[in-house]
Structure 1
Amino acid sequence: MLERMTKDPQALPLARLAALIADETRAACLLALLDGRAWTAGELARHAGVAASTLSEHLDKLVAGGLLTQERQGRHRYVRLADARVAHLVEDLAAQVAPEQDAARRPRNLRESSAGSAMARGRTCYDHFAGRLGIALTDALTSRRLLRQDTGFALTDAGLAWFEAAGIPLDRRGRRPLARACLDWTERRPHLAGVAGAALCRHALDAGWCVRIGSERAVKVTAAGERVWAELLGVDTEALR
């Protein structure tokens, strides 16, 4: 019997990619790495709740599949997402989880509930803001006509001038889009990604407008940040506390 072969050359690579992600341990690693930082294999093993040897096998597959990059420093193995495209893929897939499935996953304890609430208020999605914080900033930029959403995300001329006036440089040398819509998996709406989203997040963290909290991707707006966001964009920070 002849083996059936598809005529679509993308079918096999797509199937391999789907199989690579379709494992709970590997999915947990990819989600954790959405914070944009490098993690050691030991940290990821503890996060995923598996033995170090088991986690190492999963990391080998993710690196070989091009989803992660790795480097070694002494006896430590550090891994991170390969690039922004991988981050967007993971976030987009997470956003496809049905709302009723989200509701079915009840927090097991107060700590887990608090962590989930913090992530929903504000978090990093690879290198840009997500959660209610990300949506609030995106809405503020849009309402002030600094960002357009009618034909896909795009900064207006006024938006480019706003970033320059705010002292937030935009690196436009690469092929990455200046502005990109990224579907938020908790808010079910798009937030700002791309060069502009990354620059805004990096500047806010460096300036102390936001700080990371806990071991997850959660961030919170500082008192200084509340003043700055209100002055620069008129953002109502009550919803971000």
Structure 2
Amino acid sequence: MSQPTRSPQPGGEPDLAAVAALFADRSRARILTTLLDGRALPASRLAAEAGVTQQTVSSHMARLLDAGLVTVERSGRHRFYALAGPEVATVLEALAHLAPVPPVASLREGSRAKRLRDGRTCYDHLAGRLGVRVTTHLIDRQVLVRTDGGDGVRRSHSDDLSAPSVVAPFEVGPHAAEELARWGVNLVALQHDRERSRPMLRFCTDVTEQRYHLAGALGAALLHSLRDQGWVTSGPRPRELSVTEAGEAALGRLLDGSPAQP
């Protein structure tokens, strides 16, 4: 059974240091980054990704659970852990903008970095070159109409690089439903979803591309549709996305006949 995110309690100033300390440990940071693709993963997978023992992972997860940063669900004898919500993913993305990037030290690391830049998940929506390219297409087709006078997917000068998730400088265009239907997204149903508590449109400043990519409820619905139709699939490592053969053809048609791969 999943544990809910801890509700704010009345009192004085938030204790930022207590939360920041949870992100400061390298193993915990790797665990949280592994969960950034929105999936629920068992402790054994998290241990392998973080390069620590399952006993160490269990200790880390206990602290993260107590802080409300992750949830856990039992399935048989196993426990599956996931980020507690998009707000945790936003913090991780913000830290990624501020963090130094170590030099690539091997061919394997270089290949991994390229795959992540080409296409990846940012919690529950598309990121990387593919995410930015799809967002650009939606702007070109006036599915998304910019409201701040900016140009395309270029970030606003007022948007700090350390604050990747922003209230959208866009609105949904008048003919968006028809175009989104081609992508398998029912805009009317999404707009009338009474259980939706998150904004329809949010945007992240992409870590690698320094351009906007679509997030929010619409971004999540778009990625969900691409997965359901078999156009993209998870890569060999967490967060990586690969465009399938069927996706190459479909996305090529949708993206005005140009190649689907960035």
Shorter chain as denominator, the TM-score bin is 0.7 to 0.9
Matched, 1:136 2:133: yes
- Consecutive unaligned residues of structure 1, counting only runs of 5 or more, are 1-7
Partner of 2:33: 31
Call closer, same or farther: CA 1:238–1:194 in 2, change over 3 Å: closer
Aligned length: 227
Local SS of the residue matching 1:157: coil
Matched, 1:163 2:180: yes
Provide the rounded CA distance (Å) in 1 between the counterparts of 2:131 and 2:114: 15
The answer on whether the counterparts of 2:206 and 2:213 sit within 8 Å (CA) in structure 1 is yes
Provide the rounded CA distance (Å) in 1 between the counterparts of 2:108 and 2:78: 29
Q: Which moved more, 1:60-69 or 1:160-169?
A: 160-169
Partner of 2:76: 74
Comparing both structures, which one devotes a greater share of its residues to helix? 1
Matched, 1:221 2:218: no
Partner of 2:67: 65
Call closer, same or farther: CA 1:91–1:127 in 2, change over 3 Å: same
Local SS of the residue matching 1:178: coil
The answer on whether the counterparts of 1:154 and 1:178 sit within 8 Å (CA) in structure 2 is no
1:70-219 superposed matches below 5 A:
70-97=72-99, 101-102=100-101, 105-151=102-148, 152-164=169-181, 166-170=183-187, 171=190, 172-173=193-194, 174-219=196-241
The answer on whether the counterparts of 2:203 and 2:212 sit within 8 Å (CA) in structure 1 is yes
Q: Which moved more, 1:148-157 or 1:125-134?
A: 148-157
Q: 1:40 aligns with which of 11, 18, 42?
A: 42
TM-score with structure 1 length normalisation? 0.86
Provide the rounded CA distance (Å) in 1 between the counterparts of 2:81 and 2:97: 24
Provide the rounded CA distance (Å) in 1 between the counterparts of 2:145 and 2:63: 39
Provide the rounded CA distance (Å) in 2 between the counterparts of 1:238 and 1:203: 16
Provide the rounded CA distance (Å) in 2 between the counterparts of 1:15 and 1:196: 33
Call closer, same or farther: CA 1:69–1:238 in 2, change over 3 Å: closer
Partner of 1:18: 20
Extract structure 1 runs of 4+ deviating beyond 4 A: none
Local SS of the residue matching 1:44: helix
Shift of 1:207: 0.7
Q: Which moved more, 1:163-172 or 1:85-94?
A: 163-172
Shift of 1:212: 1.6
Shift of 1:147: 0.9
Call closer, same or farther: CA 1:16–1:168 in 2, change over 3 Å: same
Local SS of the residue matching 2:103: coil
Provide the rounded CA distance (Å) in 2 between the counterparts of 1:33 and 1:139: 27
Shift of 1:239: 5.3
Local SS of the residue matching 2:81: strand
Partner of 2:152: none
Q: Determine what percentage of the aligned residue pairs are the same residue.
A: 41
The answer on whether the counterparts of 2:177 and 2:186 sit within 8 Å (CA) in structure 1 is no
Call closer, same or farther: CA 1:224–1:58 in 2, change over 3 Å: same
The answer on whether the counterparts of 1:154 and 1:180 sit within 8 Å (CA) in structure 2 is no
The answer on whether the counterparts of 1:95 and 1:188 sit within 8 Å (CA) in structure 2 is no
Provide the rounded CA distance (Å) in 2 between the counterparts of 1:85 and 1:40: 22
